Amino acid sequence: MGRLSVNLCGIELDNPVIPASGTFGYGWEFAELYDINILGSFSCKGTTREPRFGNPTPRIADCPAGMLNAVGLQNPGVDRVIDTELPKLARVFHKPVMANVSGFSLEEYAETCARLDREPQVGWLEVNISCPNVHGGGMSFGTDCGQAAAVVRAVKAVTTKPVLIKLTPNVTDVVSVARACEDAGADGISLINTLLGMRMDLKTRKPVLANTMGGYSGPGVFPVALRMVWQVAHAVKIPVVGMGGVSSAEDVLEMLMAGAAAVEVGAANLVDPWACKRIIEDLPAAMDRYGIRTLTELKIEN
């Protein structure tokens, strides 16, 4: 293993940096800017069984130290992803990828995951039970321990690849949900998804977003994300993928020190398309400044 290498559910990554779902498309778009094989991996845009247009506009709003989004899982559906998006990706990216999956019922989660599980380039299934921008499904599964566990069992029954469950921060006790997922057979936990927020338009006296509320992401959420990663990583024995406001090599190191096995970078990609490349290139110097020889020495033992 190299100095930056990490292991996620039995799959070795050249480095821990993974662009987060919804901020990197299906990968090939960014390959026009730089060689995306520099990445540890990346998480594909959230995919549902059927195509989704998403929420009405406006669905993006500026916030201090971040942004709000209420895109609503816009995607072409799993058939198009398998037939078109993954073959295009395979031409420019030669590592395992995360397939991010959302659903509105146990059956939909299971069917979509089963389809993607058969794709050779898919290394992990990242099951999103935490989207705050859809009505029904999404976050409603991730706020209840029983429903979260039910999704895990439904997906694990039809898949063979590692299953990571992506959790919402919009709960009182995220550790209980994470433990329920672990007990149900999850191979790993991803967190956090966005915090629920909103903005008002002072001129119209109405919410800025057509959906009223949206997910708050960006540097402002980093301390909250780090706290939750610490709590979950010290409470479960399965790997944790940390995310939320990560925008620098130092942020990555903090996430790893808090217990993350790998780190996803989200909103930073929307501000700077080269953000992940820059972070990876900055990691060795950041490690040198803090006397870190290899990233594996930061791994916590439960």
Residues taking part in catalysis: 131
**Which residue carries 């031409």 as its tokens?**
91
Angle in degrees, CA 73, 174, 98, rounded to 5: 40
Rounded distance, CA 191 to CA 232, Å?
9
Rounded distance, CA 112 to CA 50, Å?
9
Beta bridge partners of 196: 215
Residues 6+ apart with CB under 8 A from 93: 27, 28, 31, 36, 37, 39, 42, 121
Angle in degrees, CA 295, 300, 301, rounded to 5: 135
